[in-house]
């Protein structure tokens, strides 16, 4: 399987985007094709790497047939939400190093090359000016025609010239498309409708409707472009350059060119371009682009900084630890970009609906034009042609096709502003119907930072020995428990003395230290290994240590509940989540204590990882049909549960690749309260989407009905087409104003 991305420049029709997607999907060897209208990208997964050239040919063919003005370009860098002029090389395939040399040989896409600005919109801007000019000139002639009250051929000439100026292009496009076998598109429908008006000598109406239509289209374009810009800028965390130290000099290069272990310098005000460790300097960094957290964070020598942070104060020198493609920023951008390929049910419904709606309306229009004049006495062809053309004007489902994906995209963008990454519109939609939220305890509701509160030794061992063997045993583990023990043991650990290390998830560690067989873990581990020991009944997480089959003592460690957890659970309840459940592998006492403090409804303790999955499966069988179960974990040893839940949410995604991979939603900060925020955003998005569906379908149905009975006129039809689109787009944009 291989994945490819393409830019579809100048893509401006959402309906055509879904048609393109549909056709490309049918090309041989293509597993899945998604066209993202918002980011103008086409994402492909092919079965095999063969025939790529042929596939490329076919893609270009399809696109050019459906949308001749769209330019297909292979994406050089897959994490590139916006295209900066640097990266646009002539054919999209040359590396920009070579650009200057190849410039003269460049003949493909030549005319479009100079149209690109920072955001690829200048083409649109130029068009906009031209369109406005046309509208003004045509509008002026139209007004003269109305005021002058001319008769006969003069009247026709005046209105016809106004018509040609504003609508000539539409007619031409309609003709061109017909030649290519594309009959029923908007251009054709508007042409027929306005020709109808001219044929019935309603000249002013023919012109006015075309004018109105073009004004609507213009507003629609502006609205779509504006929303695209504001949403993508929300997610635009891509660093533009890196200052890399090479041969004692600082060179500005693009982040992709920097290698692991090179030194980069980040000055105040600049973005950290790659993940790495500070080797010199200290500063405050703004992490809000990744976490939504507005408080700047202090960083200094030895600490890790992530790409996407913004350096606020001092100059810092960083040793790069991950190449750009592996750095946090790339991971996040990739995730957000791919989000639209997982479509919400509402989106799929609209796509399906659009497929049947247009042909249905066109067929009814044809019947309206033909049948009544034949069978109804006194029905004139002219009158029924007019009614039929009203149908044609409303036959585009544009309002829905544009505004629904826009709404979801906006919802995902808004969530990312709060440090919540949602991997697909389907998950955003699913968050709307959450019945149960299941939390993992350690690291999710609690901080996952343990400290040792008590050490006991017995059978001739002393406390120092107990701690030492525990620390040696834990030295390879990254479990929060291990980290706390190692921290407590301050001395250096001689790893040469450690052999046969084995971590048993949910039990503990079995290992050989200095030739002695050491067990460190919970009571289950002791029972399992048949060690005679005294069970403690302290409240706390308890580790038992056995050395060479002899019980040596225990360590009690405690974790603190996150400040945010109580609030998180309260606000989930306020958002109609019925059950809050906590699962943990920790002992019953501590589990119950935490559960009581946080007011969770149910708690299951002393679970092994596979038992957590079983518990979740049980809950899944008992849930109400159509409702969802969310599992929230920290990504450490709960990946199977994350994957099993309807929606898996990983906390504290910063720096944890495993969590980012396994989850459907990643919360970049450590706050469980963000789950309620995500649910709120989901509800807001859904409400807007439903409003748009009802509004658009309602107005269309109304005007169709009125049109059939001869009550609605062409003006209302055009409003039901473009006017409704604009209102729906503006409504979708309200999601960006979401506030916690």
Query: Would you please indicate which residues are annotated as catalytic (active-site) residues?
Result: 440
Q: What residue is closest to ligand ADP based on CB?
A: 585
Residue 442 engages Mg ion in binding (rule: CB under 5 A):
yes
From the list ligand ADP, Mg ion, none, pick the one residue 541 interacts with, judged by a Cβ distance below 5 to 8 Å according to partner type: ligand ADP
Say if CB 604 and CB 460 are below 8 A apart. no
Name the minimum Å distance from CB 352 to Mg ion. 41
242 contact, one of ligand ADP, Mg ion, none, CB 5-8 Å limit per kind: none
Indicate the SS3 state at residue 272.
coil
Residue 477 interface partner, choices Mg ion, ligand ADP, none, CB cut-off 5-8 Å depending on type: ligand ADP
Closest to Mg ion by CB, 239 or 635: 635
**CA triple 696-702-703, angle to 5 deg:** 90
584, interface contact from ligand ADP, Mg ion, none, CB < 5-8 Å by kind: ligand ADP
Burial (0-12, 13-18, 19+ Cβ within 10 Å), 315: middle
Residue 60 tokens, joined: 């270009």
Q: Which residues, at least 6 apart from 349, have a Cβ–Cβ distance to it below 8 Å? A: none
What the block records as the tokens of 580 is 């809050």
For residue 395, the Cα-to-chain-centroid distance in whole angstroms is: 31
- Choice between 139 and 508, CB closer to ligand ADP: 508
Coil, strand or helix at 265 = strand
We find the least distance from the C-beta atom of residue 585 to ligand ADP, in angstroms, to be 2
The distance of closest approach from Cβ of residue 611 to ligand ADP in the complex, given in angstroms and rounded to an integer, is 10
Find the shortest distance in angstroms from Cβ 20 to ligand ADP: 46
CB atoms within 10 A of CB 304: 13
Gap between the Cα atoms of 160 and 163, Å rounded: 5
Q: Which does 671 bind (CB under 5 to 8 A by kind): ligand ADP, Mg ion, none?
A: none
Q: In angstroms, what is the minimal distance from the CB of 443 to ligand ADP? A: 6
Query: Smaller CB distance to ligand ADP: residue 482 or 717?
Result: 482
Shortest Cβ distance from residue 591 to Mg ion (Å)? 12
Contact 433, 630 (CB under 8 A): no
Kindly state the number of chain residues that form the binding site for Mg ion, as judged by CB under 5 A. Answer: 1
- CA 703 to CA 712: how far, in whole Å? 6
Sheet bearing 310-311, strands edge to edge: 297-299, 283-286, 310-311
288 binds, among Mg ion, ligand ADP, none (CB under 5 to 8 A by kind): none
Q: Collect all residues with Cβ–Cβ distance below 8 Å to 225 and sequence separation of at least 6.
A: 121, 124
Interface residues toward ligand ADP, by CB under 6 A: 440-442, 474, 477, 479, 481-482, 503, 506-509, 520-522, 541, 543, 584-586, 609, 637
587 near Mg ion, judged by CB under 5 A: no
**Toward Mg ion, which CB reaches closer, 285 or 675?**
675
CB 620, CB 629: distance < 8 Å: yes
Distance between first and last Cα of the chain: 41
| 682 binds, options Mg ion, ligand ADP, none, Cβ within 5 to 8 A by partner type | none
Stretch that binds Mg ion, among 93-101, 440-448, 454-462, 493-501 (CB under 5 A): 440-448
Q: What are phi and psi of 337, to 5 degrees?
A: -65, -40
User: Which of 701, 630, 208, 207 is closest to 436 using CA atoms?
Assistant: 630
Q: Minimum CB separation from ligand ADP for residue 521, in Å?
A: 4
* Residue number of the CB atom closest to Mg ion: 442
Task: Name the minimum Å distance from CB 638 to Mg ion.
Answer: 5
Spatial strand order in the sheet of 242-246? 249-253, 242-246, 263-266, 316-320, 276-280, 304-305
Decide whether 387 or 562 has the Cβ nearer to ligand ADP. Answer: 562
- Comparison of 506 and 652: residue with beta carbon closer to ligand ADP: 506
Partner whose binding site includes residue 202, from ligand ADP, Mg ion, none (CB under 5 to 8 Å by kind)? none
Q: How far is 600 from 238, CA to CA, in rounded Å?
A: 40
What would the x/- binding string for Mg ion be over residues 364 to 383, using CB under 5 A? --------------------
- The number of beta carbons lying within 10 Å of the beta carbon of residue 54 is 12
Establish if 232 lies at the interface with Mg ion (CB under 5 A).
Answer: no
Interface ranges with Mg ion (CB under 5 A): 442
């Amino acid at each position: 399987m291989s994945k490819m991305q393409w830019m579809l420049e100048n893509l401006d029709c959402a309906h055509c985007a879904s048609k393109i997607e549909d056709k490309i999907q049918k090309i041989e060897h293509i597993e899945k094709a998604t066209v993202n209208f918002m980011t103008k990208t086409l994402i492909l997964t092919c079965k095999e790497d063969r025939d790529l050239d042929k596939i490329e040919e076919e893609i270009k063919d399809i696109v050019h047939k459906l949308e001749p003005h769209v330019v297909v370009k292979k994406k050089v860098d897959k994490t590139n939400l916006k295209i900066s002029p640097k990266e646009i090389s002539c054919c999209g395939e040359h590396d920009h190093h070579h650009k200057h040399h190849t410039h003269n040989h460049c003949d493909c896409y030549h005319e479009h090359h100079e149209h690109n600005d920072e955001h690829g919109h200048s083409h649109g801007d130029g068009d906009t000016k031209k369109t406005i000019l046309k509208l003004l000139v045509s509008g002026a002639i139209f007004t003269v025609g109305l005021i002058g009250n001319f008769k006969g051929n003069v009247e026709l000439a005046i209105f016809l010239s106004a018509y040609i100026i504003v609508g000539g292009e539409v007619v031409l496009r309609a003709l061109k498309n017909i030649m290519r076998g594309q009959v029923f598109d908007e251009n054709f429908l508007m042409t027929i409708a306005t020709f109808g008006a001219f044929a019935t000598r309603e000249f002013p109406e023919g012109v006015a409707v075309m004018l109105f239509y073009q004004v609507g289209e213009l507003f629609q374009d502006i609205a779509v472009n504006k929303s695209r810009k504001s949403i993508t800028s929300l997610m635009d965390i891509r660093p533009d350059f890196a200052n890399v130290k090479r041969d004692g000099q600082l060179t500005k290069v693009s982040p992709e060119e920097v290698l692991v272990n090179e030194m980069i310098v980040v000055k105040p005000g600049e973005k950290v371009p790659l993940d790495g460790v500070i080797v010199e300097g200290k500063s405050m960094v703004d992490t809000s682009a990744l976490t939504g957290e507005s408080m700047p964070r202090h960083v200094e020598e030895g600490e890790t900084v992530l790409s996407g942070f913004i350096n606020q104060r001092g100059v810092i020198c960083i040793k790069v630890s991950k190449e750009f493609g592996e750095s946090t920023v790339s991971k996040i951008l990739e995730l957000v970009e791919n989000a639209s390929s997982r479509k919400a049910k509402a989106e799929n419904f609209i796509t399906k609906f659009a497929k049947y709606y247009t042909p249905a309306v066109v067929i009814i229009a044809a019947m309206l034009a033909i049948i009544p004049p034949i069978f109804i006495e006194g029905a004139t062809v002219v009158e029924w042609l007019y009614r039929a053309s009203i149908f044609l004007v409303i036959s585009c489902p544009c309002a829905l096709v544009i505004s629904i994906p826009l709404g979801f995209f906006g919802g995902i963008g808004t969530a990312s502003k709060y440090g919540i990454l949602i991997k697909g519109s389907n998950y955003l939609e699913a968050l709307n119907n959450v019945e149960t939220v299941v939390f993992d305890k350690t690291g999710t509701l609690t901080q996952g930072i343990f400290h040792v509160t008590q050490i006991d030794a017995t059978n001739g061992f002393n406390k120092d020995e107990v701690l030492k063997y525990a620390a040696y045993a834990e030295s390879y583990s990254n479990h929060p428990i291990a980290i706390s023990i190692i921290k407590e043991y301050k001395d250096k650990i001689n790893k040469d003395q450690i052999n046969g290390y084995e971590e048993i998830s949910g039990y503990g560690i079995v290992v050989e230290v200095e030739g002695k067989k050491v067990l460190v873990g919970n009571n289950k581990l002791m029972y399992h290994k048949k060690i005679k020991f005294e069970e403690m009944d302290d409240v706390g997480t308890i580790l038992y240590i056995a050395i060479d089959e002899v019980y040596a003592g225990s360590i009690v460690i405690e974790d603190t509940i996150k400040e945010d957890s109580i609030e998180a659970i309260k606000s989930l309840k306020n958002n109609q989540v019925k059950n809050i459940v906590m699962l943990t592998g920790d002992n019953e006492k501590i589990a119950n204590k935490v559960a009581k403090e946080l007011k969770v409804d149910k708690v299951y303790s002393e679970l092994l990882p596979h038992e957590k999955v079983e518990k979740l499966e049980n809950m899944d069988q008992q849930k109400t049909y159509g409702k969802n179960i969310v599992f929230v974990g920290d990504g450490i040893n709960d990946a199977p549960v994350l994957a099993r839940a309807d929606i898996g949410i990983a906390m504290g995604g910063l720096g944890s690749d495993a969590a980012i991979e396994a989850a459907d939603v990643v919360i970049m900060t450590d706050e469980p309260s963000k789950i309620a925020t995500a649910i709120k955003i989901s509800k807001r998005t859904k409400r807007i989407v439903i409003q748009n569906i009802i509004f658009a379908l309602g107005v269309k149905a109304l005007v169709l009905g009125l049109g059939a009975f001869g009550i609605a006129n062409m003006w209302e039809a055009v409003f039901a087409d473009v006017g409704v689109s604009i209102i729906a787009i503006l409504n979708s944009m309200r999601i960006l104003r979401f506030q916690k």
